[in-house]
Amino acid sequence: MPETETFSHKYDKNDMLLKITCLSWLVAKLLCWRIWTTNRLLPTVPLYEFFDSIPVVVHSLLFTLSILLLFALFFRNNKYVLIALLFTEIFSCLLDLNRLVPWEYFYVFIIFIFLTNTNTAKLISTSIIIVLMSTYFYSGLCKLNEGFLHTVWDNMILRLFLKLPAGFIAHTWVHYTGYLLGITELLAGIGLLFIRTQLRAAIALIILHLFVLLLFGPFGFKGYRVLWPWNVSMMLFLYFIFLHKNERFNIFPSVTKGWNIPVVICWAILPALSFWGYWDRNLSSNLFSANLPKMIICITDTSKCKSLQRFCSKRDIANTCHGLAKIDIQTWAIIETGASAYPEIRTYKIMQKKLEKQYAAAGLSFVYLPR
């Protein structure tokens, strides 16, 4: 009898994890729907140039199909719906790499895990734990840089969110305390791997997500709402996997079983290559590290590109554009679509080429800041 209950519980838990994925993914897509269509000014960045010849209506059809499939999957776990959703998302992202934001990559792999473990339901939780561990480990590791301390910790969190006085923030010990966020996230991610530390690590990470929700919620920076469903879903993953029935998982025997191997490769191994430029940052859980490459657009004559004026910023402390109108491509992307642009120099250059052609009379010039 106890074995039957455990077996039933595992299946109920998996069903709940899939519902959480579908619902949070659906909300995220609706919050930034423009990135999934061509109803926007931000240029698309296809993986291959010939994808630009695909009719624009295909983008909207793929988005609509994705929404319908998520609805269907929420109510019933079906292998063919999983396959259809996986291929729909992959094709949509191939048409525009800007859609391959970290949470999209995360959810695509959750669907992959459910699809490849239809006959081995016991491996679903351990596979998801691998993805969670990698997300927190690399996200924490990427935060261990001066850019994070100055931009996120000192300016965003201490000065703008907590309203601490500049004199207090200027203390060296306060400045370097920001590293504790990255170290905590990193160590908690590792803690998810070991039976003795899984519960404490899960609780610490849930608290971290609550802080992120406060930071970007109604009482903080409200402009990046797409983070809300992802953070809520991560909290629910942690709760239902580790806290709900107080379960513990021996991860290591499972990492070499079946389709866990590509999950381990894509999430635990390949992200390490991003530190040397051999793997993309959006695929490496590089989250709010403040060390991503930037593209700044300087505009000589804004009257020749009036539609872009709402993305212009008067703030140019570094004098990047020498008095000309300035657009940060990431600010543009977030304002218009609700999602960030794909942060790689090669994708920026594709957008540059399209913008130069579209706004030739505006006298655009482009400045790249590698980190």
Amino acid at site 340: S
Residue 40 main-chain phi, psi, to 5 deg: -165, 170
pLDDT recorded at residue 324: 92
pTM, whole model, 2 decimals?
0.93
pLDDT recorded at residue 8: 43
pLDDT recorded at residue 5: 41
The pLDDT-based confidence of 305 (bands split at 50, 70, 90) is very high
Residue 182: CB partners within 8 Å, gap ≥ 6? 139, 140, 141, 142, 143, 144, 148
Asked if pLDDT for residue 304 goes beyond 80, the answer is yes
Asked if pLDDT for residue 7 goes beyond 50, the answer is no
Mean pLDDT value across residues 275-294: 94
Rounded Cα gap, residues 335 and 333, in angstroms: 6
Asked if pLDDT for residue 2 goes beyond 90, the answer is no
Asked if pLDDT for residue 4 goes beyond 90, the answer is no
The pLDDT-based confidence of 145 (bands split at 50, 70, 90) is very high
Q: Which two tokens stand for residue 232?
A: 């809520």
The pLDDT-based confidence of 335 (bands split at 50, 70, 90) is very high
Over the Cα atoms of the chain, what is R_g? 22
Residues 278-294 as b/e (b if ≥16 CB within 10 A, e otherwise) read ebbbbbbbbbbbbbbbb
Judged by average pLDDT, the poorest of 31-35, 127-131, 223-227, 310-314 is 223-227
Total residue count of the chain as it appears in this document: 371
Contact criterion met (CB below 8 Å) for 292 and 139: no
Asked if pLDDT for residue 178 goes beyond 90, the answer is yes
Residue 43 DSSP class = P
Judged by average pLDDT, the poorest of 71-85, 141-155, 250-264 is 250-264
What average pLDDT does the chain have?
92
Report the side by side order of strands in the sheet with 364-369: 325-328, 294-299, 364-369
